[in-house]
Structure 1
Amino acid sequence: MSGSGGEFMVTMRRKEVVAAMLPMQKHWLPLSNLDLLLPPIDVVVFFCYKKPRGSASGGDDFTFGSMVRVLKEAMAQALVPYYAFAGEILSNSLGEAELLCNNRGMDFLEAYADVKLQDLNLYNPEENIEGKLAPTRKQGVLSVQVFLFLCA
């Protein structure tokens, strides 16, 4: 990064909950022994894509909003077979954590970062990613954050 460290602003545009597009019956799933022994962690995956060009037939360029809509719809479809990701981890009557498959949905955040992608220091993720580009999961099992960055 050009000398400024992790100094950039992230502005939240919208926060929604995306649930599976088909209803499901509410049920509990026990966690494995490994899940119960290890401390909970959030896995961060960071994908970057070039802005797509318009269709070959001369159609309009994709906008950030249209790409977000497509991603939300795809997530809602993917949560049907992977319904556990639309649930939440709660304590059972014995105080042990269990997965409640209730189609609560996953947090879906839309944000804007006032930094050029090329200026991010991805070799030191704590500088940029934690707390800024990776969402802090508050509820549920999965959280997704989609960004619009400054153009190069």
Structure 2
Amino acid sequence: MGSCGFSVITKKTEVVAAVLPMQEHWLPMSNLDLLLPPLDFGIFFFYKKRTDQEQFENMVNTIKKALSQALVSFYALAGEVVHNRHGEPELLCNDRGVDFAVAYADVELKDLDLYHPDDSVDGKLVPIKKHGVLAVQVELSRVIDLD
């Protein structure tokens, strides 16, 4: 694998909320959640590069619309973890929304060190979650055609 020294430029950030308003409520953490350290995970997908900027913008808008619709059923993902009066973490389902970023990565798939994703992908292709439960980043990059 190649080096992991590539740049990612964030072009736009916003918060995507559920398409329907939710009533605020609290969900307690399970015993397992309270015993284990917090775990953040990231998923990223690669698509064939589109040369048309308008196609990319349409794809981004479609993903945002689908995310806002999915948050109606998966409303907990649009909340945030806060501490209750006893100091225990709980999930506040307040329809805060999901951090959503559009970025451009100057890298080809063959140059990513996927054997060491914490060094090559984390914080670059997979966004660092600053608020809430979930963060989404959509990227346009120089991904090579694998055909």
TM-score, scaled to structure 1: 0.87
Structure 1 pair 11/51, CA: closer, same or farther in 2 (3 Å)? closer
Pick from 95, 104, 107 the counterpart of residue 112 of structure 1. Answer: 104
Matched residue SS, 2:72: coil
Pick from 65, 90, 96 the counterpart of residue 82 of structure 2. Answer: 90
Report how far residue 151 of structure 1 moved.
5.2
Partner of 2:66: 74
Matched, 1:10 2:8: yes
Gaps of 5+ in 1: 54-59
Aligned residues: 144
Partner of 1:56: none
Report how far residue 50 of structure 1 moved.
2.4
Q: Distance in 2 between matches of 1:127 and 1:91?
A: 31
Out of 92-101 and 44-53, give the one that drifted further: 44-53
Gaps of 5+ in 2: none
Matched to 2:21, the amino acid is P
Matched residue SS, 1:23: coil
Aligned-pair RMSD on alpha carbons? 1.9
Matched to 1:141, the amino acid is V
Structure 1 pair 151/51, CA: closer, same or farther in 2 (3 Å)? closer
Matched to 1:35, the amino acid is D
More helix by share: 2
Pick from 110, 113, 116 the counterpart of residue 124 of structure 1. Answer: 116
Measured against aligned partners, the alpha-carbon deviations of 1:65-113 in whole angstroms (never above 9, x if no partner) come to 1100000000000000110000000011111100110100011111111
Matched residue SS, 1:79: helix
Q: Distance in 2 between matches of 1:51 and 1:131?
A: 22
Matched residue SS, 2:32: helix
Report matched runs for 1:129-140 at 5 Å: 129-140=121-132
Report how far residue 52 of structure 1 moved.
7.0
CA contact (8 A) 2:49 2:141 kept: no
CA contact (8 A) 2:78 2:98 kept: yes
Partner of 1:25: 23
Matched to 1:9, the amino acid is S
Bigger Rg, which one: 1
Q: Distance in 2 between matches of 1:88 and 1:151?
A: 33
